Structure 1
Amino acid sequence: MTSSTSTRRFRHATMRDFPQMQKNYARARELMARSGNPTQWGHEFPREAVVLDDIAQHRSILLVDGTGPHERILAQFALCPGEDPTYRHIDGAWLDNDSYVTIHRICSSGLVKHAARECIRWALKHYGNVRADTHPNNKAMQHVLETSGFARCGLIQLLDRPTDTTRIAYQRHEW
């Protein structure tokens, strides 16, 4: 991913990244609402406590460019190893029952094009078996996942909210 003219790299987020990460999530919520998907993240998702826990547990991964005081966050996501309880029940079928990681809470800062796709490529390169899900109204993320070679496996129901729980489940396994 890093070319001779770029200093792009992936790293774990730290607490000092939290304010910019929150701005990126706010931008993503606004973009989703303008694109016909106002309910997936609503006005407060991901909750502050979730983002702070992602950072503390080393789940938050950043795509950054530049160095030192000139570093910019281009995209961010939570990479969650182990079984995701939400994925135990699917109306459909996963590609396999092998160990996997899950990409959650992915968003871009809007500074460059295709940053989410770059994050997905990185996860596939490093982990091989990746799952993700998105809202039926999130056509942009469906497009990113499908053009990144993910299979649409079925529908899952979120466990952490009372309404608007249906998500389209995806998986790609690099054999």
Structure 2
Amino acid sequence: MNKFHIRKAEQADKGRIWEIIQQAIALRKEQGSRQWQDGYPNEDVVQSDIDKGYGHVVEADGKIIGYVAIIFDIEPAYNAIDGKWLSDGEYVGIHRLAAAQDPHVKGVGTAIMQGVEEIAVLNGVYSIKVDTNFDNGGMLHVFDKLGYQYCGEVHFRGAARRAFEKLLK
């Protein structure tokens, strides 16, 4: 079993992060999804994540194998949910989660989300809100496995997405 380690992304990680995101974009296309097929996310988004301190990488055996943006701030799209969140207080928003395909390591998405939960609690925030495309089976499985509850739909760049929340205490 690989030991996963999550840490803040640094400028030196940007190339590897972009490789992983490009792999995820190609995988979504191969799976017939329209998610991430419109020029988002791109290198400017990754740079912004790093600059703002949102970007995090997941490592195993010293190699970066995953990426996620962990955002301790309001996500405006989440204010207009078609449905109802479990809570109205502070939350951590998760975006741009991607796992490397070179090597493909089983369990990276789960490890990332578990790492996010630990980071949230360490920062005194006990709610995680996240969304994904309707056809992203991998992420939907991770959310189900880790006890995230479906709350409704949110809209990003003109598309409806499934929204989930997990309360951590």
Work out whether the TM-score is over 0.5: yes
Inter-partner Cα distance in structure 2 for 1:11 and 1:114: 17
Could you tell me which residue of structure 1 aligns to residue 18 of structure 2? 22
Which position in structure 1 is the counterpart of 2:79? 88
- SS for the counterpart of 2:80 is coil
Q: 1:62-73 maps to which residues of 2 (within 5 A)? A: 62-66=57-61, 71-73=62-64
The answer (yes or no) to whether the contact 2:85–2:165 under 8 Å persists in 1 is yes
Deviations 1:20-40 (A, max 9, x none): 111101110111111221x11
Q: Which residue, out of 21, 28, 34, partners 1:32?
A: 28
Contact 2:4 2:111 in 1 (8 A): no
Deviations 1:35-85 (A, max 9, x none): 221x1100522121111010111111111123xxxx311111000112110
Q: Give me the identity figure in percent.
A: 26
4+ residue runs of structure 1 moved beyond 6 angstroms?
Answer: none
Find the partner of 1:140 among 135, 138, 141.
Answer: 138
TM-score, normalisation: structure 2: 0.90
Mean Cα displacement is larger for which, 98-107 or 119-128?
119-128
User: Is contact 1:76–1:108 with CA below 8 Å preserved after alignment?
Assistant: yes
- Equivalent AA in structure 1 for residue 30 of structure 2: R
**Equivalent residue, structure 1, for 2:88:** 97
Number of aligned residue pairs: 162
- In structure 2, give the amino acid aligned to 1:170: F
DSSP-derived class of the 1:88 partner: helix
**TM-score of the superposition, structure 1-length normalised?**
0.87
Quick check: 1:29–1:43 contact (8 Å CA) kept in 2? Answer: no
Larger radius of gyration: 1
Structure 2 partner of 1:79: 70
Gaps of 5+ in 1: none
- TM-aligned CA deviation for residue 7 of structure 1: 5.6
Superposition deviation, residue 139 in structure 1: 1.8
Q: Distance in 2 between matches of 1:154 and 1:9?
A: 31
Amino acid of the structure 1 residue aligned with 2:65: L
